[in-house]
Amino acid sequence: MLDYMIYIITFVVGSILGLLYSYKQHGEPFIAVTKINIPFTIISIAGWVLGFCSGNIILSAVGFLLAGFVMGERPGYGRKETAVGLIIAVIVYLILTV
């Protein structure tokens, strides 16, 4: 039970940090971003793979922190990167468990 609480807390902290970082980078009220951000995609992939596949509490917490950082950006940002990270993490998980 404590493991899940740690994961939730680190995900929420990552989401808050991502939101703060996003507002610091973009002061505009809203801009529709159509291109994919490669560094955030790499962070999202690393975060979701660590979160799902590490098997260690600390590495999983770091993974959920990274995933929350990308997912917690302002509305309209980070959705493509999160989708790519989740898809690759699910594929890695299935490869490791089968």
pLDDT tens-digit series, residues 38-95: 999 999 999 999 999 988 899 999 999 999 999 888 777 888 899 999 999 999 999 9
The whole-model pTM stands at 0.87
Whether 68 contacts 14, CB under 8 Å: yes
Q: Is the pLDDT reported for residue 32 higher than 80?
A: no
List of residues 6+ apart from 9 with CB closer than 8 A? none
Name, in order, each residue with C-beta under 8 angstroms of 15's C-beta and a sequence gap of 6 or more.
68, 69, 71, 72
Residue 33 has pLDDT above 70, yes or no: no
